[in-house]
Amino acid sequence: GVEARAKEGLILLGLIGICHQYKHFVKEAIHACHSAGIRVVLTTGEHPAAAIYIARDLGIIHGEETDLEIHENNILIDYLIEAIGMKELADRVAYVAKQLKQDEGIVRDSGMCEKRDPSTSQVTVISHILHSDIDSKGFWSEKMTIFTKLIVARCRHADKMNLIKECQNLGHVVTVMGDRTDDVPALHLADVGVTMGVHGEETAKDAADIIVDDNHFSSLIDGIQEGRRLFDNLKKAIAFVMVSIMPQFTAFFTYYILQVPSPFTVPFIIFVQFFVNMLPAMAMAYESTEEKTFNSPPRNTFIDKLISRKLIIVALLQVGYIETCAGFYAYFTVMDDHGYPPWILLGLATGNNWGHHPLYCKFVGGQYVDTAGNIDPKNNPMEHRPSREFPLWQDGDSGYVDTCIFPPKTFVGHHGYPDSDQTNNDFWMDQALSYTKTTAGTHMTTVETLDALEHNKYFEYIPWKGRMTPHWNTEWLAYNIHGDAESF
């Protein structure tokens, strides 16, 4: 041993200490972890004093004292009190305060003559040589709860495994970095196992989920930042698409239950879904990282899912509700501007009549006018049908449309069945004689039905408001009814 060698005349000349110098980007990466709310735990096989030095050098802890240092300082104070007495110790504190030009109370509170509770520290140093109860149930849970920063010195394999399990039990997503064979069980147990590509052993690479090829810890931080960006962008895209569900569903529900004419056509729905919705949603996936994304704590994996309750409430019941109200307001406003007030729209979507058959309405007041706005001097809209010269109804000073109905189709045509391959070619809008070619099996409106409607003061309704819109088309009013079929 040393004593035997000393007898040989060896003299201690000095000690050489070797310290590994960490690169600056490691400290920057750890600082980024702290800013992002990521808890960094140092596990090392070094002595507790060396572990504390490494943690300070890397920036895992800063100026704060560890519970071990406070405990050792308490032991020193007990020794000094016993050796020199409390009065002498107090005098020395006063002398130090005078030399440092600081308040005596500040120096005293720093631990030079008064003992402190180690649990008041935010940093704990854990080791089986310091804690005899390290393998007891609840040990790691207590340490993780009381202290915000952990340093595990003289770390054994069992210590690392117990720490990982307890972190997972507390709901944390655990990432373990290791590049040796004895790190393989921990890499398997962790939620994410990370090893280095250059110095990592093959067994560690096989067990790891992520291999950092450039051997830079900062590259892992870049990956975490990219993952958060993608997660946030996916949530934005999902929320953007979900927002349109509520107005579309409500519009279809209104059409199906209340039989209000649908504002959507099939091509329009396809266009909205594949172009108006999907393209902006896809573009959101490429948005750059927001400043707050990496400066916020990690999400709670039990609550903050890709599609969460909060996302559904905001997208459907908040923004979706606003869009629904805006959509219905725009729909009813446009319809009213075209001469179809909201109260007459109920039930008008039955039988696929809207936009395909004339609408008959009962008027209260108003007047018939021509396309130039000239008033019909003869016919009263409450008693007579509109004439060919004055086909439009105008509300005038106080007129309004009471109720509307499409003529019932009470007769089934029997003129003959067209060939299946010519069905679309047997009917031409501008050829009146073609109207009778495909009536077999089709429900038709009879002249008697129209007479009954007019007897009950329902007359054909062509709104003057529609005439005043930019969509007005007068070609259908210019047909020559006295010519042959080809003139229509």
How much is the mean pLDDT over the chain?
82
Structure tokens at 294: 């990496």
Structure tokens at 408: 């019932």
Check whether 473 has a pLDDT greater than 50: yes
pLDDT for res 333: 92
- The residue with greater pLDDT, 441 or 267, is 267
CA-wise closest residue to 349 among 464, 263, 269, 271: 263
pLDDT for res 479: 47
Residues 129, 152: Cα–Cα separation, whole Å: 11
Share of the chain above pLDDT 90, in %: 30
Check whether 301 has a pLDDT greater than 80: no
Check whether 315 has a pLDDT greater than 80: yes
User: Which domains are delineated in the chain?
Assistant: 24-221 (3.40.50.1000), 225-337 (no CATH), 342-410+445-487 (no CATH)
Task: Render pLDDT for 111-121 as a digit per residue (tens, 0 to 9).
Answer: 556 677 888 88
Residues 233, 225: Cα–Cα separation, whole Å: 12
Residues 359, 336: Cα–Cα separation, whole Å: 15
CB proximity list for 459: less than 8 A, separation 6 or greater:
360, 361, 362, 363, 381, 384, 385, 386, 453
Task: Render pLDDT for 26-44 as a digit per residue (tens, 0 to 9).
Answer: 888 898 888 888 999 999 9
pLDDT for res 118: 87
The Cβ of residue 425 has, within 10 Å, a number of other Cβ atoms equal to 12
pLDDT for res 18: 78
Q: In which band, very low, low, confident or very high, does the pLDDT at 481 lie, cut at 50, 70 and 90? A: very low
Q: What is the mean pLDDT of residues 71-79?
A: 80
Task: Render pLDDT for 448-470 as a digit per residue (tens, 0 to 9).
Answer: 899 999 999 999 999 998 888 77
CA-wise closest residue to 58 among 45, 44, 69: 44
Task: Render pLDDT for 177-232 as a digit per residue (tens, 0 to 9).
Answer: 988 888 999 999 999 999 988 878 889 999 999 998 888 888 888 888 888 898 88
